[in-house]
Structure 1
Amino acid sequence: MKSFTPYPSVNKIIDHLLIKISDILNGQFIGMYIHGSLALNDFAPDRSDIDLVILTENALSDSLLKKLKLLHKKITLSNLPYAKRIECIYIPIKSLKNYFQEKAFFPCLHIDGKFYIDGFGLIEKHILRENGITIKGQSPKLFIKPVTQNELKKAVIESLKNWWCPQLIDHSRLIKNDYQVYAVLTMCRAFYTIQRGGIVSKSKAASYAKDILDKKWILLINEALSWKIGKNFNHLIKTLDFIKYTLNNFGLLNK
């Protein structure tokens, strides 16, 4: 078993997934990559997810998707470490070579064990290209074009406007503890990217936000940073207020 990461239990399930997924995809399999917190050296064993990108030759057929769904269901129900904390998206290589500026949507396993379409845009492409860990295949820098700082900033603003603004009205997702934490740290990252440029880990973005924002947000940010799976967070109103504060700061409310 190869040491893809500093975490033996993470390496174990990644190695298992590599064998099983490449066997199902056969000639369609091109590569497997780690992105997200592991790629940004921000992985917290007691709360982080394992984010994977599977690169394929073409869009997958219904029969292959059915086999993958069964595989992921079996793994999710297993006793393998991190089995319920995997997000795995399947992307045709031409979609990463092509320079799409908006989110494109692809089949994805989510941490709830469900398998459905999800987005992958410029922010994710940038992290994969600049920080992604290659499990199998070519370096992402060989097939993904660089994303400019202005494009990153625009992508973050579009995400705030198109994804987070509507959640002030329908905040059903924000009922969950983990999503409140995700929202708070995502707002911190938005401040960093728009004001400083680049994408950094959520913990680094949180540190930056605590330095520049009104001190009343420090406790909320600290609690988000220290949250662990199974622990209560329950700061819906404060989280909504922080989202509003962020949107207002960038002139995105009532637009």
Structure 2
Amino acid sequence: MDSYTVYTPVNEILNILLERISLIIGNQFVGFYLFGSLALNDFVPDRSDIDIVVTTKTILAEDQLEELQQMHKELIENKVPYSDRMECIYIPIDSLRNYVKEKSYFPCLHNGGEFYRDGFGLLEKHVLRERGVILKGPDPKSFMKSVSLSELQKAARESLTNWWLPKLNNSTSLADDDYQTFAILTMCRALYTIEKGNIVSKSEAAIYAKTEAEEYSSLIEEALAWKIGGTFNKLQQTLDFMKFTFHRVGIGT
């Protein structure tokens, strides 16, 4: 078994996925990469997901997507560790080589084993290119352009404006404990990216945010410490920290 991380159960499922995906999509296969927490050295076994990018020659056929979905569901049914805690997005390599934001929606298998269409924005692109873990395929730097400081900051602001700001008036999704902690740590990372011009791990961003927002330091610490199955239940505090972040970076004010 090849070891791509320091976590044996993660390596086990990655080896399974690499083999099975390669067989299912055949000559469409180009590369297999990790981004997200595993790429940023911020993976927490009790709470983190595995974020995967599979690059392909062209858009996958429907029968291939159906076979991939069935494969993912079988892993979940067989209770393979982390099979229900991963997102695997399939992107034609030309879409990363010639990045166009308006067309960046691709088939992505979510935690439950179902496909949906998801975006792959500049923030994700930056992490993949600069920090991505290569399991197989060409180095992302060989086919992806770098993302500038101003582009990163703009993308972070757009994410706050378009996705998070509306939740102040419709906080239904924030009722779940895991989404509250996700929101808090996302605010930390957005704040860091906008003010410092780089993407760092949630832990690093949280350290920065705690010094810049001392009144929310305990909330941030609790969000970092939360584990799947634990109780958080801090909706109002989460909304307050979101408002602080928006005000700090001049969004919605």
> Normalization by structure 1: what TM-score?
0.96
1:112 positional shift: 3.1
Structure 1: unaligned runs, 5 residues or longer: none
Q: Give the distance between the partners of 1:29 and 1:93, measured in 2 at CA.
A: 10
Q: Which residue of 1 aligns with 2:239?
A: 240
Q: Give the distance between the partners of 1:113 and 1:167, measured in 2 at CA.
A: 26
Q: Give the distance between the partners of 2:45 and 2:67, measured in 1 at CA.
A: 29
Q: Which residue of 1 aligns with 2:161?
A: 161
More helix by percentage: 2
Q: Give the distance between the partners of 1:47 and 1:140, measured in 2 at CA.
A: 27
1:103 positional shift: 7.3
1:4 positional shift: 0.4
Q: Residue 6 and residue 38 in structure 1: after superposition, are their counterparts in 2 closer, same or farther (change >3 A)?
A: same
Contact 1:103 1:122 in 2 (8 A): no
1:75 positional shift: 1.2
Q: Give the distance between the partners of 1:94 and 1:40, measured in 2 at CA.
A: 25
CA RMSD, Structure 1 to Structure 2 (Å): 1.1
Q: Which residue of 1 aligns with 2:222?
A: 223
1:1-255 superposed matches below 5 A? 1-101=1-101, 104-213=104-213, 215-253=214-252
Deviations 1:129-179 (A, max 9, x none): 000000110111111100001100000000000000111122222111111
1:114 positional shift: 2.4
Deviations 1:94-123 (A, max 9, x none): 100013245711111112332211111100
The number of residue pairs the alignment matches comes to 253
Q: Give the distance between the partners of 1:252 and 1:147, measured in 2 at CA.
A: 22
Q: Give the distance between the partners of 1:166 and 1:176, measured in 2 at CA.
A: 17
SS in structure 2 of the partner of residue 138 of structure 1: coil
Q: Give the distance between the partners of 1:57 and 1:41, measured in 2 at CA.
A: 29
SS in structure 2 of the partner of residue 165 of structure 1: helix
* Identity of matched residues, %: 54
> Normalization by structure 2: what TM-score?
0.97
SS in structure 2 of the partner of residue 37 of structure 1: helix
- Please tell me the residue identity of whatever aligns with 2:211: D
Q: Which runs of 4+ in 1 moved over 3 A?
A: none
